[in-house]
Amino acid sequence: MESLLQGLKAAAEPTRLRLLALCAHAELSVSELTQILGQSQPRVSRHLKLLCDAGLLDRYREGTWAFYRLADGGDCADLARTLVDLVPAADITLSRDLERLETVKSARAKAAADYFRAYAPVWDEVRSLYVPEAQVENTLLEIIGERDINDFLDVGTGTGRMLEILAPRIQRGVGIDLSHDMLQVARSNLETAGHRHCQVRHGDMYNLQLPGNQFDLAVVHQVLHYAEEPRAVIDEAARTLRPGGLLIVVDFARHDEVFLQTEHRHRWLGFDDAEVSGWCLGAGLETRPVERLPGKPLTVLIWSATRPLRVGAATAVSMDGEGAR
């Protein structure tokens, strides 16, 4: 009762109700909300704090920025959504706010496109070395099959592509990446596609700052070859899985294309089948057969492993490559 009353009191003010409505349509920073509302930043910040304290909004730190979105959990998450739904769609103030929101989104999309355009030749060069991404994605979807996925984690989300292709299958998606520029691209892509149930966060793949036993599916797509400690990435992703949850790792088989290290900052020249399988086993997962997608000159491998429904039920695999790098 107390949390409900606190939520109602926090929302019972015109500016705060406008903020709730805006944050239901997009994940926004203080400066963006200030621009839309035409109010001072200190005033907007005070309103945001009250809404967060009441559990109606979530706040996420991203470097020197903070982003706000409608609460995703807690006692008042349903209240926040209900209040937003009660705001008349034809309300003149809300309509003007949403028009200004579209201007903010357009500016974001342009910045993301500029960044993507600058680096597209680099990505295209690497992609030309292996099978088309569509083939990789289709194989990944086949591995997932018809399993129920409520919560999905994308480690090293990049442009948010994994979130996009899985969005129709999931209830909630979270993408983590260390690059602010890539997060900008991903956020823009998800907003353009209308995937409001997906979000991206700034974070470290070695320390995700996420609770354990939370996700039904975690994907580590073309990330391990950049990692200084790839086994630690597997351990951390596995920690977040619920019992029965599935981990999928997509990366290159071991190869000799040294220019990927010197010119594209790859830390490792691919991995052996048993190497990553051994890391999955060491993380307490049950491994499954490795999928191979041969290319010229790079072969893509897709590892998959599940968290046992009971502790200690992991199935042994070949340990030839288990040693940590």
Give me the domains of the chain, ranges plus CATH numbers: 2-101 (1.10.10.10), 129-306 (3.40.50.150)
Q: What is the pLDDT of residues 151-165, one digit of tens each?
A: 999 999 998 999 999
CA torsion, points 254, 258, 262, 268, in degrees to nearest 10? 20
Find all residues with CB under 8 Å of 42, minimum gap 6, and list them: none
Strands 286-287 and 241-252: unpaired
Cα–Cα nearest to 133, from 159, 172, 170: 159
Q: And the tokens for 27?
A: 């994940």
Contact 243, 307 (CB under 8 A): yes
Residue with tokens 């357009």: 106
Q: What is the pLDDT of residues 189-206, one digit of tens each?
A: 998 899 989 999 999 999
Q: What is the pLDDT of residue 319?
A: 37
Q: What is the pLDDT of residue 61?
A: 81
Q: What is the pLDDT of residue 318?
A: 38
What is the C-alpha separation between 53 and 165, in angstroms, rounded? 34
pTM of the prediction? 0.77
Q: How many CB atoms lie within 10 A of CB 132?
A: 12
Computed on alpha carbons and rounded to an integer, the radius of gyration of the chain in Å comes to: 22
Contact 206, 233 (CB under 8 A): yes
256 phi and psi angles, rounded to 5 deg: -120, 20
Strands 241-252 and 300-306: antiparallel
Q: How far is CA 172 from the centre of its chain?
A: 10
Percentage helix, strand, coil, to 5, in the chain?
A: 45, 20, 30
Find all residues with CB under 8 Å of 134, minimum gap 6, and list them: none
For helices 2-11 and 41-53, angle between their N-to-C axes, nearest 10 degrees? 160
Segments of the chain with pLDDT less than 50:
315-324
Q: And the tokens for 10?
A: 């926090």
What is the C-alpha separation between 76 and 191, in angstroms, rounded? 24
291 phi and psi angles, rounded to 5 deg: -90, 135
What is the C-alpha separation between 19 and 38, in angstroms, rounded? 12
What is the C-alpha separation between 136 and 251, in angstroms, rounded? 10
Q: What is the pLDDT of residue 220?
A: 97
CA torsion, points 222, 223, 227, 233, in degrees to nearest 10? -120
Q: What is the pLDDT of residue 321?
A: 41
Q: What is the pLDDT of residue 72?
A: 82
